[in-house]
Amino acid sequence: MSIEVRVPTVLRTHTDGEKRVTVEGATLAEAIDDLEARYPGLGDRLRDDEGNLARFVNVYVNDEDVRFLGGQQTELADGDQIAILPAVAGG
Amino acid sequence: MTRAEIHGRLDLDRDTWDEIVAHARSDFPFEVCGLLAGRDGQIEQIYRVPNAARSMTYYSMDPQAMLHAFNDMDDHDLELIAIYHSHTHTEAFPSPTDVELATYPDAAYLICSLQHDEPHLRAFDIVDGRITERLVHLDGEPVTDPAADPA
């Protein structure tokens, strides 16, 4: 199962500058694990210390915010696309 | 007025400036936010992004609208130049929350203050908790502080 991940500029230090990388996984959790295995540090940016999705990083599957899908349990199909964007917030 | 060490500049043309001010005023007293993208430091595109928090003291970009903006930049080979937001009751200087939540070290953080009658725009780099200022230039001329800012 091949999943494309769009990597934002700010996280491309983990991917040698690559904008798009490919991972495997039947769920988002597996895809993040695979991302971490292939690009150490990158998968960890998406989770907090308890392993939950990090609060200030947006993760999308096929342009849908995964908070409104199944979170890390979101099922993935071949050809799905994951996008990652650090949240933009402030006061 | 709070000051920071000055490093570099941010160039805005009159249309971009007016658009940001108009956006900031459009939802007063709530904070608004958006993205500026372009090439080689020249702004070509403004994206208004809804403030999902719709607050007077906090902004949080709507995730869906933000993704669409970033995808559009990708499709048109534009790079993110600045992230803007308004301060409706305080000066155009990063708040502690702005510093804590700054996650785009390559982008300028542009703040439009509506604290006084005359809008005041200042730009900053916020990297690892450290603030430096980029002098805003409007149509090539450095922007001076409006006299209305006695703080």
Inter-residue contact A14 to A43 (CB < 8 Å): no
Nearest to A89 among B60, B68, B70 (CB): B60
Note the pLDDT tens digit of each residue in B91-142: 999 999 999 999 999 999 999 999 999 999 999 999 999 999 999 999 999 9
Note the pLDDT tens digit of each residue in B58-72: 999 999 999 999 999
* Mean per-residue pLDDT over chain A, rounded: 96
Q: Does any CB of chain B come closer than 8 Å to the CB of residue A20?
A: no
Contact residues, chain B, for A90 at CB < 8 Å: 58-59, 85, 94-95, 97-98, 101-102, 109
What is the average pLDDT across A24-50?
97
Q: What is the pLDDT of residue B92?
A: 97
Kindly determine whether residue B106 and residue A56, on different chains, have CB atoms separated by under 8 Å. no
pLDDT at B148 over 50: no
In order of their start, the domains of chain B are: 6-122 (3.40.140.10)
Give the chain B residue whose CA is nearest to the CA of A86: B103
Q: What is the pLDDT of residue B45?
A: 98
Which ipTM was obtained for this model?
A: 0.91
Kindly determine whether residue B67 and residue A87, on different chains, have CB atoms separated by under 8 Å. no
Q: What is the pLDDT of residue B146?
A: 64
Nearest to B60 by CA among A89, A83, A42: A89
Note the pLDDT tens digit of each residue in A38-56: 999 999 999 999 999 999 9
- The span from the CA of B69 to the CA of A13, in Å, is 22
What is the average pLDDT across B34-38?
98
Please, what CATH class does the domain formed by A3-86 belong to?
alpha beta
Kindly determine whether residue A6 and residue B74, on different chains, have CB atoms separated by under 8 Å. yes
| Strand pairing category for B42-49 and A81-86 | unpaired
CA dihedral A7, A8, A14, A16 (to 10 degrees): 80
Kindly determine whether residue B94 and residue A90, on different chains, have CB atoms separated by under 8 Å. yes
The full set of domain ranges for chain A reads 3-86
